[in-house]
Structure 1
Amino acid sequence: MAEGTVPFVAPGLSEPSKTWYKIVGDLKPDSIPLIVVHGGPGACHDYLLPLSDLAASRPVVFYDQIGNGLSSHYPEKAGDETFWTVELFKSELDNLLSHLHLVGRPIDVYGHSWGGMLAAEWASTPQSSKNLRRLVLSNSLASMDVWRIAVNALRVKLPDDVQKVLDKCEEKKDFESPEYKAAVEVFYKRHLSIARPWPAPEVEAALNWFAKDATTYGTMYGPSELCITGSLRDWTCIPSLKKIQAPTLLINGTEDEAQDVAMQPFFDHIPKVKWITLDGAAHFSHIDKREAYIKHLESFLSA
Structure 2
Amino acid sequence: MSTVSTLLVPFREWQTWVRVTTPDRPRSGTIPLVVLHGGPGMAHDYVRNLAALADETGRTVIHYDQLGCGRSTHLPDAETEFWTPQLFVDEFENLLRHFGSGSVHVLGQSWGGMLGAEIAVRRIPQVQSLAICNSPASMRLWAQGAAELRALLPQEVQDTLDRHEADGTVTDPDYLEATGVFYSRHVCRIVPTPQDFVDSELQMEAEPTVYHTMNGPNEFHVIGTLRDWSVIDRLASVSVPTLVVAGEFDEATPATWQPFLDLIPGSIGHVFAGASHCTHLEQPEEFRAVIARFLDTHDPQHDL
Q: TM-score range by the shorter chain?
A: over 0.9
Distance 2:30 2:149 in 1: 42
* Matches of 1:84 and 1:212, distance apart in 2: 18
For 2:145, the aligned partner's letter is: A
Aligned residue in 2 for 1:13: none
Q: Cα deviations across residues 114-151 of structure 1 (Å, max 9, x unaligned)? A: 0110110011102xx21221110000010011111211
Q: CA deviation at 1:31?
A: 4.2
Root-mean-square deviation (CA), in Å?
Answer: 1.4
Q: Secondary structure at the match of 1:282?
A: coil
Confirm whether residue 124 of structure 1 aligns to residue 121 of structure 2.
yes
Do residues 86 (structure 1) and 113 (structure 2) align?
Answer: no
Query: What secondary structure sits across from 2:227 in the alignment?
Result: coil
Q: Which of these residues, 162, 182, 190, is aligned with residue 177 of structure 2?
A: 182
Contiguous gaps of at least 5 residues in structure 1: 10-15
Q: Which residue of 2 aligns with 1:282?
A: 276
Match of 2:112 among 115, 122, 138: 115
Q: 1:232 aligns to what SS in structure 2?
A: helix
Q: Do residues 173 (structure 1) and 188 (structure 2) align?
A: no
Distance 2:99 2:128 in 1: 17
Q: After superposition, give the CA deviation of every residue in 1:78-111 in whole Å (9 maximum; x if it has no partner).
A: xx3210011111100000110111x2x3210000
Give the one of 125, 133, 140 matched to 1:145.
140
Q: Which residue of 2 aligns with 1:18?
A: 15
2:37 equivalent to 1:6: no
Q: Which moved more, 1:204-213 or 1:283-292?
A: 204-213
Q: Distance in 2 between matches of 1:205 and 1:277?
A: 26
Match of 1:68 in 2: 69
- Name which of 183, 205, 212 aligns with 1:218: 212
Letter in 1 for 2:187: L
1:184-212 CA-to-partner distances (Å, cap 9, x unmatched) read 0110011111112x211122122212211
Write the letter of the residue equivalent to 2:59.
R
Over 3 Å counting, the alpha-carbon distance change for 1:254 and 1:30 in structure 2 is closer
Question: Is the aligned partner of 1:271 residue 2:274?
Answer: no
3-state DSSP of counterpart to 1:66:
coil
| Match runs of 1:98-113 below 5 Å | 98-101=97-100, 103=101, 105-113=102-110
Residues 280 and 289 of structure 1 are in contact (CA less than 8 Å); yes or no, is this contact kept in structure 2?
no
Q: Which whole-Å CA distance do the structure 1 matches of 2:29 and 2:11 have between them?
A: 27
Partner of 1:55: 54
- Say if 1:220 and 1:232, in contact at 8 Å, map to a contact too: yes
**Which of 132, 135, 158 pairs up with 2:130?**
135
Partner Cα separation in structure 2 for residue 227 and residue 148 of structure 1: 8
SS at match of 2:81: coil
* SS state at 1:35 partner: strand
Q: Provide Cα deviations, 1:149-193, integer angstroms capped at 9, x if missing partner.
A: 211111000000000000000000101110110000110011111
User: Which secondary structure does the structure 1 equivalent of 2:228 belong to?
Assistant: coil
Confirm or deny: 8 A CA contact 1:267 1:275 kept in the other structure. Answer: yes
Q: Establish whether residue 32 from structure 1 lines up as the match of residue 31 from structure 2.
A: yes
Q: Which amino acid aligns with 1:34?
A: L
In the other structure, the counterpart of 1:246 is: 240
Partner-residue secondary structure (3-state), 1:75: coil
- TM-score, normalised relative to structure 2: 0.93
TM-score, reference length from structure 1? 0.93
In 1: Cα distance, 2:237 partner to 2:64 partner: 25
What is the alpha-carbon distance in structure 2 between the residues aligned to residue 235 and residue 241 of structure 1?
13
Number of residue pairs matched by the alignment: 290
2:301 corresponds to: none
Find runs of 4+ consecutive structure 1 residues off by over 3 angstroms. 26-31
Q: How far apart, CA to CA, are the structure 2 residues paired with 1:30 and 1:42?
A: 33
Task: Letter of the 2:119 partner, please give it.
Answer: W
Find 2:255's aligned residue among 255, 261, 266.
261
Post-superposition offset of 1:26: 4.8
Percent of counterpart pairs with the same letter? 38
